[in-house]
Structure 1
Amino acid sequence: MKTLTLEVVLRTVREYFLMAVGMMLYSFAWIGCILPAKGVGGGAAGLSLVLCHAVEEWFGVSIQIGTMVFLINAVLLLVAGFIVGWNFGVKTVFCVFVISLGMNFWQTVLPEGDFLHLERILAVILGGILAGIGVAMCFMQGGSTGGTDIAAMIINKYRTVSYGKIVIYSDFVIIGSSMLVGFHIDTVIYGYVMTAVFGYTVDMIMSGNQQSSQVLIVTHDYEKMADAIVTNVHRGVTLIDSQGWYSKTESKIVMVVCRKRETAMILKFVKSIDPDAFMTVGSVMGVYGKGFQTLTKI
């Protein structure tokens, strides 16, 4: 059981504060930039925008986007709970709440229309950049925005599909479906532009979010290190026999292969357990196995 110390409390408060700031920035990007520019996007937020527009067009009922985001994520969480279990992180639930409240907040306080007075393409690009920064801040603290992440959990229960493919396919369908509820082709084009800018921004900040990292940790306290990574990051750990040539001391190297967005979290645990540990972090391509991609036939 983790000992509750002042350092742990402050670190936790900092993580949740940064996630809240990131999600508020993400919400502002949608309500302050993308929505006034009559743009759409992917994920739960994009689907919410399409559904809100459809409900208003067909039934004359106006629903705030944040409320629709919460309903979509709530349904996904319930479905995923019954299918893959109720092992959701608290950070995922927290981020879902902040996104929903943030969107409703910005939609209430911001003036209607294009208050930024930007060209449509510039507003869409700015929205993609701000949304990407917000999501990257969330990922760096080990959080999740729900939506596509939850859908990926459900899909991977029955069939292993990479996270990147799920994001691309779902965003393509959501943005394209906006034409069914009254949006024009230019809105779809702007939606794809926003999604591309959003994805590029997240990748730039996370140094390639869709790639994986191989972390090698040289430490004498390898057992505690391995237990901490398995328990908190939920990634498999491999111990490799090693010997320091200068000291002639035998030890073990802790090897972890993880997503790029999980690297910062692992480094935090390493620093908290053994500040003197020697680490190398390398980018790897084509990671196959449980938790990653399946090995396809050549």
Structure 2
Amino acid sequence: MIFRGLCRKYFMIILGGMIQGFAMGVFLFPNSVPSGGAGGLTVLFNYWFHIPMGIALWLVNSSMLVIAVQNLGGASAIGTLAGITVTSLAVNFFEVNVYMPHSFVWLELLLGSVTLGVGVALLLRQGVSHGGIGIIALIISKSRRINPGKPLFWINGSIFVVTAYVIDWQIVIQALCCQWISTRIVDWLYNIRIPRKTPSLALDWRKK
């Protein structure tokens, strides 16, 4: 049972990382829209130093693992490392192999925000962070027993202002819209409770 639970946990982590990477690599990063605080720093590093998005994202996220180990425990840190590694690989893969015409930025922003929220929620439900500022948000969420979406929104907002100042002020509007939509999705999915059938119920049904 423990092995099965562990396999399920890491399957969900990998799935969440892939969905998050898809949202970033296909919809958000091509339009220079930061997906969060770590995404904002990733866009800046790419803008300043021309570092590939996937590599820059991994560098930013992995630097936060020390905080994860100290505050969330080793198991959560390992899960976070797995999540950010899958996300970074997915970003590189989708940027190279999936082409979008980018004809309507706001539609892509909506699709990317919803998809991002689904990926982040899957990771947070496994007790791991989606990386970067999400680690801090998860720590605040656990210590104050609140939904992680709210601290995630306000912390990332300050980083968006810097990103917009350097690149384009329109980015801050798009980034805040992305955060508002994605964090609403995160809060909604994070609070969903899926009922599970117990073996005793199954046996009772068979007896009937």
**TM-score under structure 1 length normalisation:** 0.56
Mean CA deviation greater in 42-51 or 185-194: 42-51
Residue 18 of structure 2: aligned partner: 24
3-state SS of the aligned residue for 2:61? helix
| 1:187 alignment partner in structure 2 | 171
* 1:124 equivalent in structure 2: 109
Equivalent residue number for residue 150 of structure 1: 135
Instruction: Report the RMSD for the aligned CA atoms in angstroms.
Output: 3.1
User: Which residue of 1 is the match for residue 42 of structure 2?
Assistant: 48
Q: Does 1:73 align with 2:61?
A: yes
> Which residue number in structure 2 is paired with residue 3 of structure 1?
none
Name the CA distance, whole Å, in 2 between partners of 1:75 and 1:16. 21
Residue 24 of structure 1: how far off its partner (Å): 0.7
Report the alpha carbon displacement of residue 66 of structure 1 after superposing the two structures with TM. Answer: 1.8
How many angstroms does 1:201 deviate by? 1.3
Larger Rg: 1
Q: The residue matched to 1:41 in structure 2 has which SS?
A: coil
Q: Percent identity?
A: 26
Q: Distance in 1 between matches of 2:62 and 2:152?
A: 19
Maintained 8 Å contact 1:80/1:153: no
Offset at residue 199 of structure 1 (A): 0.9
Pairing of 1:247-262 with structure 2 (within 5 A): none
CA shift for structure 1 position 95: 0.9
| Contact kept? 1:40, 1:50, Cα under 8 Å | no
What's the CA shift for 1:47?
A: 2.3
Contact preservation (8 Å) 1:41, 1:174: no
Q: Per-residue displacement from partner, 1:83-127 (whole Å, max 9, x unpaired)?
A: 65863523222112211222122223233xxx1554111000100
Structure 1 portions without partners, runs of 5+: 1-6, 56-61, 208-259, 277-298
User: Which structure has the highest helix share of the two?
Assistant: 2
- Following TM superposition, by how much is the alpha carbon of 1:80 offset from its aligned partner in structure 2, in angstroms? 5.4
Conserved 8 A contact 2:150-2:183: no
Moved more, 71-80 or 146-155: 146-155
Measure the CA separation in 1 of the matches of 2:53 and 2:125: 26
Gaps of 5+ in 2: 202-208
Distance 1:65 1:13, change over 3 A: same
Q: Is the partner of 1:35 in helix, strand or coil?
A: helix
Equivalent of 2:27 in 33, 38, 59: 33
Partner letter of residue 52 of structure 2? Q
Further displaced range: 36-45 or 171-180: 36-45
Shift of 1:11: 3.3
1:87 aligns with 74
Residue in 2 aligned with 1:135? 120
Judge conservation of contact 2:21–2:90 (CA < 8 Å) in 1: yes
Q: Give per-residue Cα distances to partners, 1:139-175, cap 9 Å, x unaligned.
A: 333332122243357889xx97975554233211111
Point out which structure has higher relative CO (alpha carbons under 8 A, 6+ apart): 2
Query: Could you tell me how far apart the structure 2 residues matched to 1:153 and 1:117 are?
Result: 33
Does the 8 A contact of 2:67 with 2:135 survive in 1?
no
Aligned position for 1:169: 154
Instruction: Report the equivalent of 1:217.
Output: none
TM-superposed CA distance for 1:202, in Å, is 1.4
Q: Which string of whole-angstrom CA distances, capped at 9 and with x for unpartnered residues, describes residues 204-231 of structure 1?
A: 2223xxxxxxxxxxxxxxxxxxxxxxxx
| Change in CA separation of 1:67 and 1:143 when aligned onto 2, cut-off 3 Å | same
Equivalent residue pairs, number: 198
In structure 2, C-alpha distance between the alignment counterparts of 1:109 and 1:26, rounded to whole Å? 16
